[in-house]
Amino acid sequence: MKAVTVALAVCACLLGVSVVLAQNGKTEKLPVAAGPKYDPVIYAELQKAPEKARNRPNPLENDPDAIAAGATLFEQHCAECHGNAAEGSRKAPSLLVPEVQSATPGTLFWVITNGVVRKKMPVWSKLPEPQRWQLVRYIKSLGGPAPAESSAPKL
């Protein structure tokens, strides 16, 4: 019984330490919201996408339901950190800034798939590929109307 109590206490302490560690990470340096104060360096990961990935077209570019489905997915998986309107929070940067909105769909897909693990964004490859493309459609839609026509292949 004593060993169990000690083990539980140790586990509780370690859990507490890990919670504190999680909160004292680099998130403090992230911009609170889109605007003149945001730090463009935070978006450097977008530049790391390989050319082949950058040039991938969104196969759901002409899917009429993709934006609505992407909005639902965003609310479920992304809004907690990026904010309900993708405006950014202390945990994660805004997705409304020019760096994101001018990025190619393939670049956004690559970042969603690979995450930015060292900066607390998990990999999202557990979402099936079509759902990640739906997310890309939604994110791009936040910066203006989606292109009407595209030669993208069907998924």
Interface positions with another protein (CB under 8 A):
1, 3-4, 7-8, 10-11, 14-16, 18-23, 25, 28, 65, 68-70, 72-73, 76-77, 80, 90-91, 113-123, 125-131, 134
**φ/ψ (deg, to 5) at 43:** -95, 10
Q: Which is nearer to another protein, 6 or 98 (CB)?
A: 6
Question: In whole angstroms, how close is the CB of 22 to another protein at the nearest point?
Answer: 4
Q: Which is nearer to another protein, 65 or 98 (CB)?
A: 65
Q: Which of 70, 71, 67, 82 is nearest to 33 (CA)?
A: 82
Joined together, the tokens standing for residue 129 give 């590929």
Task: Kindly compute the dihedral angle of the four CA atoms of residues 90, 96, 101, 102, in this order, to the nearest 10 degrees.
Answer: -80
With contact defined as beta carbons under 8 Å apart, do 31 and 93 qualify? yes
Q: Which residues contact 85 (CB under 8 A, 6 or more apart)?
A: 96, 142
Question: In whole angstroms, how close is the CB of 115 to another protein at the nearest point?
Answer: 6
Question: In whole angstroms, how close is the CB of 42 to another protein at the nearest point?
Answer: 15
- The Cβ-side half-sphere exposure at 144, using a 13 Å CA radius, reads 7
Question: In whole angstroms, how close is the CB of 126 to another protein at the nearest point?
Answer: 5
Q: Which is nearer to another protein, 11 or 44 (CB)?
A: 11
Question: In whole angstroms, how close is the CB of 25 to another protein at the nearest point?
Answer: 7
* β-bridge partners, 116: 121
Q: Which is nearer to another protein, 43 or 110 (CB)?
A: 110
